[in-house]
A and B are shown apart, each in its own frame.
Chain A
Amino acid sequence: MAEPEVNLTRKYDAVIIGSGAAGGMAAHVLTSHGLQVLLLEAGKKLPIEQELRSMEWPYDNAHRGFLPPDSHSMSFNEYTIRNPPYGPGFEKSKHLHSYIGSSDYLKNIVVDERENPFTGTNYAWVRARCLGGKTNIWGRLALRLSDYDFKAKTRDGYGEDWPISYGEIAPYYDKVDLYLGITGVKENLPYLPDSIFQRPTKLNCAEVTLKQGIQKMGRVLTQYRAGVTSDGLKHNKYRSRCYGRGACERKGGCDIHAAFDSPTGLIYPAMDTGNLTLRTNSVAREITVDPQTGKASGVHFVDSQTMKDYNVRARVVIVAASTLESARLLLLSKSRLYPNGVANSSGHVGHNFCEHVMGPGVAGRAKDLVGKPPTLDDGRPGGFYLTRFRNLAEKHAKFIRGYGFEGGSGSAMFPRGTDTHGFGASFKEEVRKNQGAFIGMGAFGEVLSRYENYVELDPVVKDKWGIPSLSFHYKFGDNEHRMAEDMKETAQEMFEAAGFEIVHVSSRVLTEGWSIHELGTARMGNDPKTSVLNQFEQSHDVKNLFVVDGSAFVNASCQNPTWTIMALCWRSCDYLAEELRKGNL
């Protein structure tokens, strides 16, 4: 890779803050337009293949794949009864991780909670500070939104419509599909548009049974739509096609990069243009503003290792630090011109914070598979997706919006069913004969975007670099709890329709943040009084400032956001490049 030296004395065409799905996409699009771009990442560049070690057997790992004893990751119970930043009680463990950091393979990817504290209401805030951010470990479910989501207010009267429609973003979804690769099966559903799919993975037998069982209820189960290249990508030399090696179920990433991640999918190819400069260990403190013009002038950042401060100048500033970090950075960027933070004349930065509620689900057993010889059910990037069915044609009496289920079935490296009663030979026999028969699924539902759910800067608490922390004011509301009740009931009803023996029904709603789909803190809109960004993710107030990550979302929908983040970002960056060329920024 041709990697130009970082030169902080020059003025870049654009500086991008954050190297995840959004920052990587901005780097790809802007460098392909010939712009000279500097990409700042707060974390390290990790030797990611050495971290992930996808094919390592548990018995070859010093702690069987679990965290070393000097580290602790938060459990649901701890989130529920302890207060952020969750420090007390763990004095003896050297490192404290969010719930996702519970394996030896993720310990250097997720942040140490103590270095990155926050206050307020409980929130399972998962942050990955390293090149590529959370794309190194994402769940890979890559779904499109539709006008059921973009025009949800028109349909049910709640919230705001997006300033774009499906027709405007569809070509950009196509570009993302073709550039990054996605597997799946066409279903022609108006509420869940198809992508341009590569070869799909197959369902296993219990999953087919469920698909058939719910068909008579008018419900749809389809193969997991994974942001994974199953046929390979001729234009990308950094990524291999999927070879079905089977560690996909383990919380962790894909070290052959068949699953999309931002470094190999977007950033390394962007570097090959010669137009991209990368600086890691660069924690942004503030977006600087020219007091004469009111425009953004660059970024003030601190080197995470040396603690030295730097400034970089750019014609355009692009914020892609993740929904909550981007809101934090805008709020931190206070000046005489922008006393409430840059791009915040509306007062909406940090507000309208939304995501997906999860937890309710069901586990069952396909009785016809009990006692069958072991099968190979790993080796694919995901099991199934059971699509939304609420509030499409009919209105539900108790809640608005919808939810879908993610699930899977079959044998796994660590068997399901180890909560079986008893011990010894009979216990082992029971686990052995049931191992391939389990099927389970859990729901992801839309959390309504509400002004009252917000983050702000904490007046006292600061992170390791002396930067004010976020304080959370965020709780699920009645609509989410009523929806969660329905998730549990429909999950059970569908497993019964498929003839499965129900093993466990979960009604427990997981801690806010658990879905790692936080969205909405700098939403788009046509009205500068009630939105932060226009339809091109451009600040209403500061024309050369763009916020291209999940914070731009107007609502959460119930589909996983990564593919939409990237499609929107591509569209915005095409616009940005054109406006810059015209001299409008």
Chain B
Amino acid sequence: MADYIDQVLRESFDDNQKTLWRDGLRLIDVMSQHYHGKTFVNATPEDRIALLTVLSDHVQMTDLPEVRFFVELKRMTVTGYYTSKIGIHDELEYKGNRILKEYVGCDDQGPASS
């Protein structure tokens, strides 16, 4: 996932997006210092989840760059994860994208309309 996001940001033509990530990562550490006295990566897993929960519970506060960063982080993580082999095949057990003899559908097609 990190590789996918790195690629998108590296190739991006959008400087605002890059700035959002730099500011966001910095502000997450500021937040983590405030709540837990440690940078985000040095905090315990429980403390990290607690911090992300604060952001996740306040996604409507988009005037704050750290919230905008969280929303963007989640969006890109979701995109990257569910377009990956793990996301498609292992997590969701997607069955399609192969040649089918006949689409199965519902056993009962319901009564005729007219």
Contacts and interface: CB of A to CB of B under 8 A. Distances in A.
Interface of A: 55, 57-59, 64-65, 68-70, 92-93, 187-189, 201-205, 207-208, 211-212, 215, 220-222, 243-247, 373-380, 411, 413-415, 418, 421-424, 428, 431-432, 435
Contacts of B74: 423
B16 to A, nearest CB: 11
B103 A64 contact: no
A188 B83 contact: no
6 contacts: A58-B84, A64-B83, A69-B11, A202-B106, A245-B97, A375-B104
A378 B105 contact: no
B12 interface: yes
Contacts of B91: 428, 432
Range for the number of chain B residues in contact with chain A:
35 or more
B106 to A, nearest CB: 4
Contacts of A375: 95, 104
A411 B113 contact: no
A245 B98 contact: yes
7 closest Cβ contacts across the A-B interface? A202-B105, A244-B100, A378-B96, A246-B96, A58-B83, A376-B95, A205-B106
B63 interface: no
Contact of B114 (A92, A188, A246, A418): A188
Contact of A201 (B78, B101, B105): B105
B82 A245 contact: no
A64 B79 contact: yes
B88 interface: yes
A428 B81 CA distance: 10
A428 to B, nearest CB: 6
B111 A215 contact: yes
Contacts of B109: 202-203, 208
B42 interface: no
Contacts, number: 125
Nearest to A421: B56
B100 A411 contact: no
B103 A201 contact: yes
Nearest to A55: B97
Nearest to A424: B49
B88 A59 contact: yes
Contact of B88 (A57, A380, A418, A428): A57
A432 B92 contact: yes
B102 interface: yes
A381 to B, nearest CB: 10
A374 B89 CA distance: 11
A423 B56 contact: yes
A379 B97 CA distance: 7
Contacts of A221: 113
B20 to A, nearest CB: 16
B13 A92 contact: yes
A411 B88 contact: no
A192 to B, nearest CB: 11
Given A59-B85, A59-B88, A208-B108, A374 B94 contact: yes
A212 B12 CA distance: 48
Contact of A418 (B82, B99, B102): B82
Contacts of A422: 56
B98 to A, nearest CB: 7
A49 B114 CA distance: 41
Contact of A244 (B82, B84, B93, B99): B99
Contacts of B92: 374, 411, 415, 431-432, 435
B98 A59 contact: no
B13 A70 contact: yes
Contacts of B111: 212, 215
A57 B95 contact: no
Contacts of A212: 110-111
Contacts of A220: 113-114
A57 B97 contact: yes
B46 interface: no
Contacts of B105: 201-205, 380
A336 B8 CA distance: 56
A435 B74 CA distance: 18
B79 A379 contact: no
Nearest to B74: A423
Contacts of A202: 103-106, 109
B65 interface: no
B83 A65 contact: yes
A393 B101 CA distance: 42
Contacts of B96: 245-246, 376-379, 411, 413
A93 B108 CA distance: 50
B80 A187 contact: no
Contacts of A57: 85, 88, 97
A248 to B, nearest CB: 10
Contacts of A207: 106
B110 A208 contact: yes
B13 A58 contact: no
Given A411-B92, A421-B56, A187 B97 contact: no
A246 B98 contact: yes
Contact of B106 (A55, A68, A204, A378): A204
Contacts of B14: 92
